[in-house]
Amino acid sequence: MRKTTQLRQLLAKREILVVPGCFDAVTAKVIEKAGFPVVYLSGYGVSAGLLGMPDAGFTTMTEIHLAARYAANAVNIPMIADADTGYGNAVNVMRCVREYIQTGVAGIHIEDQVTPKRCGHVSGKELIPLAEAVGKYRAAAKARDEYDRDFVLIARTDARGAVGGGLNEAIKRVNAYREAGADVSFVEAPPSLDEVRRIVKEVPGPLLYNCTGISPQLSARELQDLGFAIVIYPGAGLRPAVAAVYDLVADMKKRDTAAWVDFYKRMEGHPMQDLNAFLGFPDVRKMEEEFLPGEEVQKKYEATLGYKL
């Protein structure tokens, strides 16, 4: 079954989809290993992990699209990916949707900020005109229908906190985007529970909630009770990874080898202890045994030292 179809089937269920964010292929695999049915590729995370730069419009479609391709093909679960503004006007958006479908991603969200855009939870956001944005979502829906009707198109508006915006504008826009063909509505960065409730009341159809930044930190159960279909946690992969690496290398700076030895001890019994197995070295050997001459495989493993597959 295609991953797009899998995601559609998951959305058809009544239970909210809890979707942690990754920023590369290995963090996508970790999220899958933990048992989640869907993973999210964070544009903020790609900008940080690939460029070491803030999410302020520095990444190109080529960079995020490539990260999405690697991550989506590293896992067996559907992936929702950040597609920023669609990387141009309505004509460019059609190519964007086609390219993301070809990566193996199951769905994307496209936002209505001007280019260069920025993280939806920081100040300085500006919007493209409503008519232009509607045209982009119409174009995106046409590309979806042409290449894969199950591909999930998520319309994100940043109008709540942008120049000339506000909650009324955000609701008006996201409803217009749904009418233009979007499958899921995403109002970015509502700052209060009252506003969250109003969004649920006034925006029909499946809703996505971004549990980060200035928005209320609501539990999945609370969001399901409110009526949301999806909740994403964009920083779930990036923030813990950055913090853990910093703690380890800072300890190494102080204690040298002793810190590394202690780290290995703490990893005993951890699901990620055998990183070689997690990344698939045993699978490589199985493929070799199936497709390469038997004597060659036996010799290469018996006559060499190292991790035993």
Residue 262 appears among annotated catalytic residues: no
Catalytic choice (65, 121, 138, 156): 156
pLDDT at 303: 80
Res 214: pLDDT:
97
pLDDT for 68-88, tens place per residue?
A: 999 999 999 999 999 999 999
Q: Considering the chain, what is the average pLDDT of its residues?
A: 96
Tell me the domain boundaries of the chain. 3-236
Options 24, 32, 99, 111, the catalytic residue: 111
Residue 299 pLDDT exceeds 90: no
Catalytic residue among 82, 158, 183, 195: 82
Nearest to 30 by CA among 264, 279, 249, 265: 279
Looking at residue 297, its pLDDT comes to 82
- Global pTM reads 0.95
119 is an active site residue: yes
Q: Is 54 helix (H, G, I), strand (E, B) or coil?
A: coil
Q: Which residue has the tokens 């950055």?
A: 242
Q: Is 40 a catalytic residue?
A: yes
Active site residue 211: no
pLDDT digits (tens, 9 = 90+) for 238-267: 999 999 999 999 999 999 999 999 998 999
At the top level of CATH, which class does the domain 3-236 belong to? alpha beta
Catalytic residue (choose from 119, 144, 175, 211) = 119
Catalytic residue (one of 32, 40, 65, 69):
40
Q: Averaged over 289-301, what is the pLDDT?
A: 87
The verdict on whether 92 is a catalytic residue reads no
pLDDT digits (tens, 9 = 90+) for 277-290: 999 999 998 998 89
Q: What is the pLDDT of residues 195-220, one digit of tens each?
A: 999 999 999 999 999 999 999 999 99
**Residue range 136-188, pLDDT digits in tens:** 999 999 999 999 999 999 999 999 999 999 999 999 999 999 999 999 999 99
Contacts of 109 (CB under 8 A, 6+ apart): 80, 82, 83, 154, 155, 156, 184, 186, 208
Residues 6+ apart with CB under 8 A from 36: 18, 19, 20, 77
Active-site residue identified among 99, 118, 210, 211: 210
pLDDT at position 275 is: 92
Which distant-in-sequence residues (6+ apart) come within 8 Å of 250 by Cβ? none
